[in-house]
Amino acid sequence: MNKQELINQIKLKKSFLCIGLDTDIQKIPEHLLKFDDPVFEFNKQIIDSTKDLCVAYKLNTAFYESNGINGWKSLMKTIDYIPKNIFSIADAKRGDIGNTSKMYAKTFFETMDFDSITVNPYMGTDSVEPFLDFNNKWVILLALTSNKGSEDFQNFSNQSNIKLYQQVIEKSMNWSNDSRMMYVVGATKYDSLKEIRKIIPDHFLLIPGIGAQGGSLDDVVKNGMNKDCGLLINSSRSIIYAGNGVNFAENAREAALKIKSEMENYIS
């Protein structure tokens, strides 16, 4: 999916909601355990009940890898089931020396056909470039995250008082453009969004941390939205685990609809 197609979906649905399918088999409704693939069945029903409300689905691969080969099968069935007009994100946080990154890119862009993948830029240019060799595929670089440990490194400043996450953004801008690259900025870091937007006014930002992690949609929008919206706001647990009974998918829809309805106020 290219940038204009993503923008068109945002305008059409009046939504910039990304739903995280971080599916933990220990947390899904018990009645699903009778299925051959309970994780996929859970994802399938969540997708069926929310696909008209969101513009993206993000699959954190750790929740699938932890189940071994069965988890990989669930992951592949899920990505195949997501409608092609919905942006798909492999939240895999890969990034390694060039030949290894090339194999990671092949895994998620060819074997699984995700639209995008999250990448850790710590190893630099040659660890990211292989992901950019695939047409109409996106790299989503980690920039400023919501977790407590982000303070350990991301806010370190150099002699010019430029923070490390700002240096990452400024350096990586030379690797590709706003049609191929996005950045992860945690919702709880909304006070930094204005400064980030000065550096990258036209890029999309993937914003996790709304909902269970305490981020504010209004704060993020006020500080981070650009002329094209430029935001994918991710919510995972507060949507997919909104209910735990037979009607879990309906409960998930209600939770997603609440966020989507708020988003409509910001989309012209």
Specify the pLDDT at position 152. 63
**Residue 163, pLDDT score:** 85
pLDDT confidence of residue 145: 81
Cα dihedral across residues 205, 184, 175, 161: positive or negative = positive
Give 3-261's CATH code, choosing from 3.40.30.10, 3.20.20.70, 3.40.50.720, 3.30.390.50.
Answer: 3.20.20.70
Question: Which pLDDT score, from 0 to 100, does residue 150 have?
Answer: 66
pLDDT at 213: 60
Position 71 scores a pLDDT of 97
Q: Which of 93, 102, 106, 163 is catalytic?
A: 93
Cα–Cα dist 251/260, whole Å: 14
pLDDT under 70: residue ranges of the chain: 147, 149-152, 154-156, 211-214
- Domain assignments of the chain as residue spans, ordered by start: 3-261
Total-model pTM: 0.95
User: Tell me, what amino acid is at 163?
Assistant: K
C-alpha dihedral, 162 to 142 to 232 to 229, nearest 10°? 30
pLDDT at 162: 80
- Told to judge if 198 belongs to the known catalytic residues of this protein, a careful annotator would answer no
The rounded distance, in Å, linking the Cα atoms of 205 and 183 is 5
